[in-house]
C-alpha cells in the first residue's frame, strides 16, 4: 500500500484529505506543521509527502528545503497543495527548492487523486524530471523566500493604503465639519441633515438632535426621540452598555469610535447598525458626540448567506464521495436482480422477490441522486427551456397530486422566459417545492408560481456573477405559499442535507438540499422569504437564455447483441466487475477483466500477442478512479500503442464538464453508475459501431 504523509495546520483540511485518500486505498499519516512532519518522516519515511505552505513552526517552503537536504528523504516526491500561494512565481520558487509538483486549490477530488497517482507512477518509472538543485546559499535562499512572502503582503498593503486614504478623507471631512461647527450650530445641522445616513448629536447619552434619515430608518416621526436616552434604541440594557463603552472608548482614545450593534425600530424590528462617533469639540469630548448610523442589515444577511454556502459546499463534497460508494453497491444489486428476473421458469414468488429488490434499489438510486444533486456532482443535460410553457405543464401534473383545498395559480408578464436547463432537474425542483408547500398548508391555501425577468439579484440572496445569461439578465421563478412559515432557526438550516422538521419516517430531509444543489449546478441562486404564520416564498434566479429550439428525445430501440467482439473490463469494485461480465458475455461478447490499470495493461498485451486475430481487444471499459493506475492514464498508455483503440469510462462521480474532459482524453462515452443492463448494452454497442 502506498503510504502518504499529509501536512496542514487546518484540521478540517487534514480530515477531508485523509478521508479522500484512504477511500482510494492509500495509507495516510498526518502532521500539523513542517517540524512535526520532518520528525515523523525521519522515523518512518513515506512514499510521497503532500504539504501546505502557510503553517506555524515551520512552513512548507522551509520543510521542502530541509526535506531535499536530508539524504534519507530527498529522493521521496514532494508535492505542494496550497490555496494561498497561487502566483506563477510562487510555483517557480517551490520547484526551485526541489518540489516535484505544485497543485493549487481548489481541485476536484478525482482530479487530485489522478494527479497524485501520476506523480507516483512517474516516480516509480524514473520518469520524473530532475528538479533544479535546491538553493545552496543561505543569503540567496532567504532573499527569494522573503520576496515570495512580500508578494503575499503586497495586496494587503495596497488595501491598507486605500483604507488609510479613505480614513484621511473621512477625517478631513470631519475637520471641515468641526470648523463649520465653530461658526454656527445651525450650519452644522444643515450639513448633517443632508447625508443619506442617520446622523445624531448625543450629549450625556441623550439624543439632542437627529437628521431626517435616522428618523426614517427607525420609523419615528421627526423629533420623537429628542431628550430620550439612547437605551430605548437597543434590544436590551446589556447591549446598550457594551456598544456605549466601545464608542466612548474610541472617542476618548483617538477621536473616533466605531461599533457594530443592533437597534430596534418603532415597530419592533431589530436591525444591524454600524455606528461611528466623533467628538463635537475635539478638545472636550464631554460637550457631546456626533454619531453616524449605517443600516447594514442586508450586508450582514448577505455575509451569513455566503457563510452558509461555504458550509454547504464542504458538506456537499463529502456527500458526493458517499454517493459514489453507494452507486457501486446499487449497480451490483440492480444488475444481478435483472439477471435473475431474466432466467426461464422462474417461480412466481422468486420473480416477485427480484422485482422488489429492483424496485427498492431504484428508490435507493433516487436518494443517491438527491445527494448528488445537492453536492452538484450529478450529470445534467441542458437545453433551451421555455419556463412559461414548462411550468404550465408541471402545474397540470401538480393539480392531480395537490389536495383540492389548495389553489394553484401561475402569474407572468409578456416577456420571454427561456433558460438553459435540464428539464428533468427543473421539474424535480418544482415538485419538491410544491410538496413542501402542501405540507405547510394542511388546512388549504394558495400555492402561487410567478415568472419575471430581473436585471440583478438582491444582495441578500448571495453573491451573483457580474452578468446574467446570454439572453440578458435573470429569470426569477418564485414559488409562494400561504402556509405556516418558518422560524429563523429553521430557515438557517433549510438547505442542509438530512435536516427536516417532519416526524421520523415522514421525510428524508433531502428535498430542499436537492433543490439547492440543482439550482447552483445551473449557475443559479435561490433565496427564501418567510415568517411564522405568514407563509414562505422561494425565489430561484436562473441566467436568461436566447429562444433556441428544443432538442428532441432519443428513439428507443431493441436491446443490441454482440458479434463476438473482445472487451477488456477494468473495475476495482469486484461486485460491479463480476456483474458487468455476467451481463456482457451472454450478449455475445468475449470479456477479459482486470481490477486496476496496471493489471489491465498486462491483460491487454497478453490478448494482443495471441495467434488468432479475434483474441485482440476491440473495446476497453474502465473505471476512472482506481488505485495503482486510473482509467485516464490507462487509456493514454493503450492509445499510444494502438491509436484506434475504443474506450468507455465508468464512473458514479461526474458532472457534464467531466464528460467533455474524458472525451478529450480518448473516451467515446461515459457509463454512469448506477447503470442497468439496458444502459450498459446500448452504450457498448454504440461504441463498437463507431467507425
- Residue 632's domain is classified under what CATH number? 3.40.50.2300
Q: Would you state the cell numbers that stand for residue 443, as one nine-digit string? A: 388546512
Residue 187's CB is within 10 A of a number of other CB atoms, namely 14
Q: Is residue 140 part of a domain?
A: no
Per-residue model confidence (pLDDT) at position 592:
93
Pairwise CA distance, residues 31 & 37, whole Å? 5
Per-residue model confidence (pLDDT) at position 280:
76
Q: pLDDT tens across 378-415, in order? A: 556 678 889 988 898 888 878 877 888 899 999 988 88
Residue range 201-223: average pLDDT?
85
Q: Is residue 523 part of a domain?
A: yes
Are residues 346 and 427 both part of a single domain? no
Per-residue model confidence (pLDDT) at position 615:
59
Are residues 597 and 673 both part of a single domain? yes
Are residues 526 and 505 both part of a single domain? yes
Residue range 514-524: average pLDDT?
82
How many CA atoms does the CB half-sphere of 283 hold within 13 Å? 3
Residue range 261-275: average pLDDT?
89
Residues 198, 183: contact at Cβ < 8 Å? Answer: no
Is it the case that residue 27 has pLDDT exceeding 90?
A: yes
We report the CATH number of the domain holding residue 358 as 1.10.287
Q: pLDDT tens across 522-534, in order? A: 888 888 888 888 8
Confidence of residue 4 (pLDDT cuts 50, 70, 90): very high
Residues 509, 499: contact at Cβ < 8 Å? Answer: yes
Bond preceding residue 674 cis, omega within 30 of 0? yes
Pairwise CA distance, residues 589 & 435, whole Å? 46
**Helices and strands: H and E segment counts in the chain:** 20, 22
Given the C-alpha cell 534519507, which residue does it identify? 72
Residue 364's CB is within 10 A of a number of other CB atoms, namely 17
Its domain, for residue 616, covers: 566-689
Is it the case that residue 549 has pLDDT exceeding 50?
A: no
Confidence of residue 552 (pLDDT cuts 50, 70, 90): very low
Are residues 501 and 598 both part of a single domain? no
Residue range 129-156: average pLDDT?
55
Pairwise CA distance, residues 417 & 475, whole Å? 6
Are residues 213 and 116 both part of a single domain? no
Is it the case that residue 26 has pLDDT exceeding 90?
A: yes
Which run of H or E residues covers position 182?
A: helix 138-183
Is it the case that residue 657 has pLDDT exceeding 80?
A: no
Compute the C-alpha angle 149/151/156, nearest 5°: 100
Across the chain, mean pLDDT equals 80
Per-residue model confidence (pLDDT) at position 30:
93
Per-residue model confidence (pLDDT) at position 48:
94
- Percent of the chain whose pLDDT exceeds 70: 78
Which run of H or E residues covers position 479?
A: strand 474-481
Per-residue model confidence (pLDDT) at position 555:
44
Q: Would you state the cell numbers that stand for residue 279, as one nine-digit string? A: 467628538
Are residues 442 and 590 both part of a single domain? no
Q: pLDDT tens across 299-356, in order? A: 777 776 666 665 555 555 555 556 666 667 777 787 777 777 777 777 887 778 877 8
Q: Would you state the cell numbers that stand for residue 685, as one nine-digit string? A: 454497442
Per-residue model confidence (pLDDT) at position 457:
82
Question: Is the alpha carbon torsion for 652, 654, 658, 659 positive or negative?
Answer: positive
Per-residue model confidence (pLDDT) at position 80:
92
Is it the case that residue 655 has pLDDT exceeding 60?
A: no
Long-range Cβ contacts of 598-606 (<8 Å, 24+ apart): 598/628, 598/629, 599/570, 599/628, 600/568, 600/570, 600/629, 600/634, 601/629, 601/634, 601/637, 601/638, 603/568, 604/568, 604/638
Are residues 371 and 411 both part of a single domain? no
- Least Cα distance to 347 among 355, 336, 359, 335 occurs for 355
Residue range 558-572: average pLDDT?
85
Are residues 387 and 519 both part of a single domain? yes
Q: Is residue 165 part of a domain?
A: no
Q: Is residue 157 part of a domain?
A: no
Q: pLDDT tens across 46-62, in order? A: 999 999 988 888 888 89
Q: Is residue 148 part of a domain?
A: no
- Percent of the chain whose pLDDT exceeds 90: 17
Is it the case that residue 548 has pLDDT exceeding 60?
A: no
Pairwise CA distance, residues 634 & 568, whole Å? 12
Number of domains forming the structure of the chain: 5
Pairwise CA distance, residues 548 & 285, whole Å? 67
Q: Is residue 270 part of a domain?
A: yes
Are residues 17 and 113 both part of a single domain? yes
Choosing from 510, 543, 576, the residue where a domain stops is 543
Pairwise CA distance, residues 213 & 200, whole Å? 10
Q: What is the pTM of this model?
A: 0.38
Q: Is residue 539 part of a domain?
A: yes
Per-residue model confidence (pLDDT) at position 345:
79
Pairwise CA distance, residues 498 & 508, whole Å? 6
Confidence of residue 254 (pLDDT cuts 50, 70, 90): low
Residue range 78-85: average pLDDT?
86
Choosing from 295, 319, 343, the residue where a domain stops is 295
Per-residue model confidence (pLDDT) at position 132:
47
Q: Is residue 616 part of a domain?
A: yes
Bond preceding residue 106 cis, omega within 30 of 0? yes
Are residues 216 and 288 both part of a single domain? yes
Amino acid at each position: 500500500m502506498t503510504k502518504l504523509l499529509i501536512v496542514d495546520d487546518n484540521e478540517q483540511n487534514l480530515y477531508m484529505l485523509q478521508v479522500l485518500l484512504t477511500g482510494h486505498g492509500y495509507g495516510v499519516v498526518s502532521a500539523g506543521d513542517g517540524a512535526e512532519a520532518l520528525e515523523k518522516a525521519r522515523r518512518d519515511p513515506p512514499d510521497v509527502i503532500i504539504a501546505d505552505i502557510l503553517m506555524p513552526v515551520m512552513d512548507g517552503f522551509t520543510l521542502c528545503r530541509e526535506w531535499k537536504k536530508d539524504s534519507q528523504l530527498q529522493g521521496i516526491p514532494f508535492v505542494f497543495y496550497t490555496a494561498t500561494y497561487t502566483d506563477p512565481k510562487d510555483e517557480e520558487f517551490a520547484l526551485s527548492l526541489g518540489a516535484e509538483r505544485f497543485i493549487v486549490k481548489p481541485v476536484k477530488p478525482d482530479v487530485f487523486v489522478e494527479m497524485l497517482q501520476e506523480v507516483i507512477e512517474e516516480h516509480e518509472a524514473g520518469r520524473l524530471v530532475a528538479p533544479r538543485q535546491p538553493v545552496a546559499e543561505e543569503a540567496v535562499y532567504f532573499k527569494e523566500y522573503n520576496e515570495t512572502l512580500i508578494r503575499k503582503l503586497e495586496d494587503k498593503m495596497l488595501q491598507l493604503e486605500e483604507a488609510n486614504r479613505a480614513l484621511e478623507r473621512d477625517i478631513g471631512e470631519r475637520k471641515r465639519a468641526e470648523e463649520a461647527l465653530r461658526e454656527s450650530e445651525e450650519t452644522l445641522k444643515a450639513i448633517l441633515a443632508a447625508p443619506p445616513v442617520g446622523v445624531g448629536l448625543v450629549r450625556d447619552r441623550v439624543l439632542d438632535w437627529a437628521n431626517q434619515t435616522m428618523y426614517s430608518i427607525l420609523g419615528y416621526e421627526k423629533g420623537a426621540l429628542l431628550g430620550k436616552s439612547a437605551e430605548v434604541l437597543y434590544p436590551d440594557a446589556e447591549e446598550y452598555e457594551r456598544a456605549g463603552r466601545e464608542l466612548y472608548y474610541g472617542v476618548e482614545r483617538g477621536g473616533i469610535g466605531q461599533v457594530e450593534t443592533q437597534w430596534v425600530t418603532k415597530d419592533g424590528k431589530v436591525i444591524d447598525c454600524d455606528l461611528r462617533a466623533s467628538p463635537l469639540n475635539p478638545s472636550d469630548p464631554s460637550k457631546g458626540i456626533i454619531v453616524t448610523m449605517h443600516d447594514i442589515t442586508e450586508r450582514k444577511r448577505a455575509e451569513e448567506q455566503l457563510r452558509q454556502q461555504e458550509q454547504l459546499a464542504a458538506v456537499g463534497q463529502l456527500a458526493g464521495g458517499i454517493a459514489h460508494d453507494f452507486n457501486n453497491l446499487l449497480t451490483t444489486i440492480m444488475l444481478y436482480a435483472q439477471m435473475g428476473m431474466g432466467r426461464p421458469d422462474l417461480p412466481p414468488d422468486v420473480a416477485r422477490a427480484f422485482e422488489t429488490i429492483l424496485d427498492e434499489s431504484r428508490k435507493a438510486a433516487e436518494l443517491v441522486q438527491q445527494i448528488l444533486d445537492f453536492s452538484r456532482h450529478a450529470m445534467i443535460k441542458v437545453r433551451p427551456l421555455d419556463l412559461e410553457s414548462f411550468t404550465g405543464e408541471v402545474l397540470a401534473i401538480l393539480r392531480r397530486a395537490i389536495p383540492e383545498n389548495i389553489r394553484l395559480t401561475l402569474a407572468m408578464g409578456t416577456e420571454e422566459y427561456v433558460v438553459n436547463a435540464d428539464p428533468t432537474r427543473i421539474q424535480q425542483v418544482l415538485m419538491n417545492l410544491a410538496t413542501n408547500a402542501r405540507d405547510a398548508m394542511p388546512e388549504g391555501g394558495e400555492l402561487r408560481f410567478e415568472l419575471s425577468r430581473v436585471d440583478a439579484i438582491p444582495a441578500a440572496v448571495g453573491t451573483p456573477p457580474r452578468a446574467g445569461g446570454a439572453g440578458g439578465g435573470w429569470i426569477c421563478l418564485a414559488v409562494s405559499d400561504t402556509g405556516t412559515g418558518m422560524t429563523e432557526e429553521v430557515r438557517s438550516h433549510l438547505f442542509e442535507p438530512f435536516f427536516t422538521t417532519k416526524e421520523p419516517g415522514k421525510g428524508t430531509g433531502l428535498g430542499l438540499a436537492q433543490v439547492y444543489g440543482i439550482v447552483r449546478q445551473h449557475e443559479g441562486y435561490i433565496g427564501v422569504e418567510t415568517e411564522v404564520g405568514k407563509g414562505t416564498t422561494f425565489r430561484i434566479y436562473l441566467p436568461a437564455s436566447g429562444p433556441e429550439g428544443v432538442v428532441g428525445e432519443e428513439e428507443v430501440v431493441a436491446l443490441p447483441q454482440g458479434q463476438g467482439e473482445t472487451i477488456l473490463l477494468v473495475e476495482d469494485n469486484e461486485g460491479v466487475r463480476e456483474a458487468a461480465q455476467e451481463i456482457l458475455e451472454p450478449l455475445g461478447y468475449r470479456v477479459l477483466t482486470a481490477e486496476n490499470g496496471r493489471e489491465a495493461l498486462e491483460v491487454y498485451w497478453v490478448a494482443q500477442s495471441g495467434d488468432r486475430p479475434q483474441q485482440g481487444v476491440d473495446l476497453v471499459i474502465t473505471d476512472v478512479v482506481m488505485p495503482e493506475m486510473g482509467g485516464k492514464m490507462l487509456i493514454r498508455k493503450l492509445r499510444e500503442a494502438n491509436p484506434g483503440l475504443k474506450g468507455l469510462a465508468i464512473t458514479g462521480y461526474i458532472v457534464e464538464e467531466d464528460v467533455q474532459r474524458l472525451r478529450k482524453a480518448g473516451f467515446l462515452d461515459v457509463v454512469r453508475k448506477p447503470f442497468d443492463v439496458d444502459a450498459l448494452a446500448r452504450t457498448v454497442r454504440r461504441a463498437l459501431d463507431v467507425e
